[in-house]
Amino acid sequence: MISLLERARDVAERFAGPNAEAVDRDARFPSEAFDALKNAELLSAHVPAKLGGPGATILELAGMCEALARRCGSTGMIFAMHQIQVACLVRHGQGSEFFESFLRQGAKAQRLIASVTTEAGVGGSTRTSIAPVERLANGNCRLRKDGSVVSYGEAADDLLITARRGADSPASDQAMVFVPRADCQMERTLTWDTLGMRGTCSLGYIVTAEFPEARIVPAPFADISAHTMLPFAHVLWGATWLGIASDAVDRARAFIRDVARQTPGVTPPAALRLAEVSGTLQLMRLQVQAMATELDGLDPSAESGRAVLSSIAFALRMNNLKVTSSQLVVDIVTKALRICGTAGYRNDSRFSVGRHLRDAHSAALMIANDRILNSSAPLHLVSKEI
Ligand SMILES: Cc1cc2nc3c(=O)[nH]c(=O)nc-3n(C[C@H](O)[C@H](O)[C@H](O)COP(=O)(O)OP(=O)(O)OC[C@H]3O[C@@H](n4cnc5c(N)ncnc54)[C@H](O)[C@@H]3O)c2cc1C
C-alpha cells in the first residue's frame, strides 16, 4: 500500500510542480494539484479511522505539506490551511451528530474547506470578531461577515467562519460556524494581486449565510483556537515554508554541482555558503518536526493533554515556531539566491528562486510576527520555562 506521504509526493511531482509557474503567473487556483489530491483521497488524510479516514498524524501531515510546497508553495499552503480546518472539526466536532456525519461523508466526498477568520476592522487578531451570529424568528441563525482575506474561497466546498457567539457577546466570545459554500452569498470586496502566494487566491468577500444552530461547532472558539487551530497552523505553515526553503537549497546545490562539473577537482568557493545554509535548513526542519511530534503526543481528550495544550509554555513554544520558521524561510531562500547569483535571480533559469522568495515573504504576515511577539512578551514575565 502506498503511504500518504508517497501519494503527496506523487501529486507534487506530476501536478503541483508542472503547473506552479502558471499558477503563480496567473494568480489562479492550483486546480490540477487539488483534483489529484482529491483523487488520491488526501483531503481526508487527518479524518480518524473510526470516521472512515486514514487518521494521518500531524507529523505525516507536515511531511505532505512540505512535499507539496517543494514544488508549489501555494499548493502546500492551501493543503495546510484545509487540514487545519479539518483538524478543528475532528477535534471539536466529535459528539455532534452533524459534524460526525459530515466527517464520515467528507472522507469519501473529499470536500475542500476554507477559513473565514480575518475580518475587516480587526485584521489578524483572530481572537476578536465584529460580526455576530444572529438568531432569527424561524429558529435559524444568520451571519454577515466582511472577510478580508479568504484563501481559495471560490474553489472551496465549505467555509468555517468565526463570529461573535451572539448579538450581545463581547468581541472575544466567539463561535466557529460551518457553512457549505453553496448556502452562502459571497460578494467580492478585494482582489488578490500580490507579491507571492498568488495561487492561494485569497480575495476579500462579504459572506452572508443562514444556517441551523447545529452548524455551530459546539466547543468555544477560545478552546478551538488554543488547542487546535493555532498549533496546527504553526506546525503546518512551518512545514510548508520548510518545503519552499528545501527546494531553494536543492536548487543552490544543483547550481554548485553544475559549477563544479566545469572545473573538476576544484570545490567552487560558493560551496562554503551551501554548507552554511544547509545547517540553517536542518535547524528549521528539526524545529518543525519536534513541534509536530510534541503535538501528536498530546491527547486533547485527556486532562493531561489539555493541560499542556492550555499551558503558557506550550503557547510560547508554538509562537516561537511560527516566528522563527517564518524568518528562517526568508533567510534560507535569500542565501540560496546569493549562491546561485544571477542564475537564481533570473525567472527563466532552472536555478530561479524568485517565486520561492516572493512566497516566503508572506510567512511573516500570516498573523503578523509582531502581533505574535507582542502576545508572547507578557507571557515571558510569568513563564518559568519554554
Ligand atoms: C497567503 C495568505 C493567505 C491567507 N489566508 C487567509 C485565510 O484563508 N483566511 C483568513 O481568515 N485569513 C487569511 N490570511 C490572513 C492572515 O492570516 C492575517 O490575518 C492577515 O494577513 C493580517 O492582515 P494585516 O497584515 O493586514 O493586518 P494586521 O495583523 O492588523 O497587521 C498590520 C500591521 O500592524 C502590526 N500589528 C498589528 N497588531 C500588532 C500588535 N499587537 N503588536 C505589534 N504590531 C502589530 C503588524 O505587525 C503589521 O505591521 C492570509 C494571509 C496570507 C498572507
Mean pLDDT of 278-287: 98
Question: How far lies 65's CA from each of 98, 135, 215, in Å?
Answer: 28, 39, 28
Same domain, yes or no: 187 and 261: no
Same domain, yes or no: 125 and 101: no
Say if residue 124's pLDDT is above 90: no
pLDDT of residue 380: 94
Q: Calculate how far, in angstroms, residue 136's C-alpha sits from the geometric centre of ligand 1.
A: 32
Same domain, yes or no: 307 and 365: yes
Query: Which residue, 111, 130, 157, sits at the end of a domain?
Result: 111
Average confidence score pLDDT of the chain: 96
HSE-up (13 A, CA, CB side) for residue 384: 0
pLDDT of residue 299: 94
Same domain, yes or no: 251 and 269: yes
CATH number of residue 171's parent domain = 2.40.110.10
Q: Which of 117, 69, 22 is nearest to 237 (CA)?
A: 69
Q: Calculate how far, in angstroms, residue 33's C-alpha sits from the geometric centre of ligand 1.
A: 27
Q: Tell me: the pLDDT tens digits for 338-365?
A: 999 999 999 999 999 999 999 999 999 9
Say whether 163 sits in a helix, a strand or coil.
strand
Say if residue 209's pLDDT is above 80: yes
**Considering only CA atoms, which residue is closest to atom 2 of ligand 1?**
366
289 pLDDT band, cuts 50/70/90, is very high
Q: Calculate how far, in angstroms, residue 117's C-alpha sits from the geometric centre of ligand 1.
A: 10
108 pLDDT band, cuts 50/70/90, is confident
- Cα 248 from chain centroid (whole Å): 19
User: How does DSSP classify residue 13?
Assistant: I
Query: Which residue, 163, 180, 215, sits at the end of a domain?
Result: 215
Contact 369, 326 (CB under 8 A): yes
1 pLDDT band, cuts 50/70/90, is confident
Same domain, yes or no: 311 and 375: yes
Pocket test for ligand 1, best of 125, 194, 371 (most atoms within 8 A of CB): 371
Say whether 294 sits in a helix, a strand or coil.
helix
Contact 119, 145 (CB under 8 A): yes
Say if residue 15's pLDDT is above 80: yes
Q: Calculate how far, in angstroms, residue 286's C-alpha sits from the geometric centre of ligand 1.
A: 26
Q: Tell me: the pLDDT tens digits for 227-277?
A: 999 999 999 999 999 999 999 999 999 999 999 999 999 999 999 999 999
**In the numeric block, which cell numbers belong to residue 242?**
520548510
Say if residue 113's pLDDT is above 80: yes
| pTM of the shown model | 0.98
Q: Calculate how far, in angstroms, residue 126's C-alpha sits from the geometric centre of ligand 1.
A: 9
| Residue that has been written with the C-alpha cell 508572506 in this structure | 362
Same domain, yes or no: 355 and 264: yes
Say whether 366 sits in a helix, a strand or coil.
coil
Say whether 122 sits in a helix, a strand or coil.
coil
The phi-psi region of residue 201 (left if phi > 0; otherwise alpha if psi is between -120 and 50; otherwise beta) is: left
Same domain, yes or no: 232 and 375: yes
CATH number of residue 280's parent domain = 1.20.140.10
Q: How many angstroms separate the CA atoms of 174 and 132, rounded? A: 8
Kindly list the protein residues whose Cβ atom lies closer than 6 A to any atom of ligand 1.
81, 114-118, 123-124, 149-151, 197, 200, 202, 362, 365-368, 370-371, 374
Same domain, yes or no: 273 and 361: yes
Q: Tell me: the pLDDT tens digits for 160-201?
A: 999 999 999 999 999 999 999 999 999 999 999 999 999 999
Residues with Cβ within 8 Å of residue 301, at least 6 apart in sequence: none
Q: Which of 315, 324, 317 is nearest to 364 (CA)?
A: 324
Query: Which residue, 185, 215, 245, sits at the end of a domain?
Result: 215
Number of domains in the chain: 3
Say if residue 123's pLDDT is above 80: no
Same domain, yes or no: 271 and 371: yes
Q: Tell me: the pLDDT tens digits for 97-107?
A: 999 999 998 77
Domain hosting 47: range is 4-111
pLDDT of residue 277: 98
Same domain, yes or no: 245 and 371: yes
